[in-house]
Amino acid sequence: MASINYYTKEGLKKLKDELEYMKSVERPRISEQIAEARDKGDLSENAEYDAAKEAQGLLEMKISKLEDVIANARVLDASQVDTSKVMVLSSVKIRNIQNGAEMKYTLVSESEADLKSGKISINSPIGKGLMGKKIGDKAEIQVPSGKITFEVVDISMG
């Protein structure tokens, strides 16, 4: 049973575009490489043919995996998200209890995570630690440098 993942409209479109690229550009390119290698003669000693067949297998596996992800993807409508607690697509302002530093993150699916733009995965240690918390709740989160306690300051829609 594949797990359901939640995406923004943009995130799901990006996945669909990637799948389309693999099917319409990568697949024909590899088929062409196999045909060229086949034309070079004896397949038993043809490293180009073996490499192209292996690349084809890997691509087909990636396509199949991505098709499963898309089939089990659900688009979250920001207007339907409950902002009383931290969920997928929530923008969360947190304060580090130890040093008072405040940060703001938007919790997204793993494939949409981008720390530079403040988007963290719901599967990351911080994402998991914040899920379900309400304003004023404290979350003790295990990070590589040890345990950090954060207080949820604000929850809004990303």
CATH number assigned to the domain comprising residue 33: 1.10.287.180
State the Cα angle at 112 between 157 and 27, rounded to 5°: 145
Mean pLDDT in residue range 119-127: 88
- What is the residue type of 78? A
Regarding whether 85 and 70 lie in a shared domain, the answer is no
pLDDT-above-70 percentage for the chain: 91
Strands 138-143 and 146-157: antiparallel
Using CA of residue 148, residue 149, residue 153, residue 158, what is the dihedral sign? positive
Domain final residue, candidates 19, 47, 75? 75
pLDDT (average), residues 109-130: 87
Supply the pLDDT for residue 59. 94
DSSP string, the chain: -PPPEEE-HHHHHHHHHHHHHIIIIIHHHHHHHHHHHHHTS-GGG-HHHHHHHHHHHHHHHHHHHHHHHHHTEEEPPGGG--TTS--TTEEEEEEETTT--EEEEEEE-GGG-BGGGTEEETTSHHHHHHTT--TT-EEEEEETTEEEEEEEEEEEE-
Name the pLDDT band for 104 (thresholds 50, 70, 90): very high
What are phi and psi for residue 99, nearest 5 degrees?
A: -115, 0
Check residue 56 and give its pLDDT.
94
Residue 9 and residue 71 in one domain: yes
Whole-prediction pTM value? 0.60
What CATH number does residue 141 fall under?
3.10.50.30
**pLDDT averaged over every residue in the chain:** 85
Same domain, 65 and 85: no
Q: What is the pLDDT of residue 2?
A: 57
Q: Residue 77: its pLDDT value, please?
A: 65
Question: In total, how many domains does the chain have?
Answer: 2
Contacts of 41 by beta carbon, 8 Å cutoff, 6+ apart: none
Q: What's the pLDDT score for residue 1?
A: 45
Mean pLDDT of 57-80: 84
Q: Could you tell me the residue range of the domain that residue 28 belongs to? A: 5-75
